[in-house]
Amino acid sequence: MTLKEMISAQTRRMAALSPWIYRINAGSCNGCDVECATTALIPRYDVERLGCQYCGSPRHADIVLITGPLTARVKDSVLRVYAEIPDPKVTVAVGVCPISGGIFRDGYAVLAPISKYIPVDINVPGCAPRPQAIIEGIAQAIEVWRERL
């Protein structure tokens, strides 16, 4: 085994233990964003027990949480930021808005479902989903992430 392969295998093993989370707001009402922040910031829910950490830059991210129904105005920015996230990545749609549009379905300013533009892996329905449900979705996303590595 060459040194390059050894380093590659070691980084893979380490990355599987701590996927970093990045959050994209695709025109959300902020309800799901508050619940996402709750899962990370409040000791009661503490998503960092799963080895996850919210990161500020899309280039560091492994798991992407998308909230909001993808409004027409924010579409280009969302796609640009999403393209910056390195592969392999796991996408989690938080709330019913990115999955189907929810209450905004068929609105003229709303391009939902988001799966028309972005490949989604895990859905977490709810309006907004409770923090434990988001943690459940993240736990499923980590399983997918370990398979992809």
Partner 1 sequence: MNFLKNLIQNLVRGPSTVSYPFGPAWTPDKFRGRIEFKLASCTGCRACEQVCAPGAIRFDKTPDGLRFLMWHNTCVFCGLCEYYCPTDAIEQTTDWHMAHAVEHEFEMAIREVIPYVACSACNAKALASAPNPVGVEPPFSAEEIEHQRNLCPGCRKKALAERGVAS
Of 103, 147, 148, 149, the one binding partner 1 (CB under 8 A) is: 103
Number of residues that bind partner 1 (CB under 8 A): 34
Judged by phi (left if over 0) then psi (alpha if -120 to 50, else beta), residue 55 lies in: beta
d(CA 115, CA 54): 23
Residue that is written with structure tokens 């969302």 in the block: 78
**Please, what is the minimum distance in Å from the beta carbon of residue 88 to partner 1?**
16
**Please, what is the minimum distance in Å from the beta carbon of residue 4 to partner 1?**
34
Q: Is 45 in the site for partner 1 (CB under 8 A)?
A: yes
Q: Is 37 in the site for partner 1 (CB under 8 A)?
A: no
Closest CB to partner 1 among 29 and 74?
Answer: 29
Backbone angles phi, psi at 63, to 5 degrees: -115, 130
Give the DSSP H/E element, type plus range, for residue 116. none
Please report which residue ranges of 18-130 form alpha helices under DSSP H: 31-41, 75-84, 96-100
**Please, what is the minimum distance in Å from the beta carbon of residue 6 to partner 1?**
33
Q: Is 127 in the site for partner 1 (CB under 8 A)?
A: yes
CA angle 55, 100, 80 (to 5 degrees): 40
Closest CB to partner 1 among 60 and 105?
Answer: 105
Q: Which residues form the interface with partner 1 (CB under 8 A)? A: 43-46, 49-50, 93, 96, 99-103, 105-106, 115, 120-127, 129-130, 132-133, 135-137, 139-140, 144
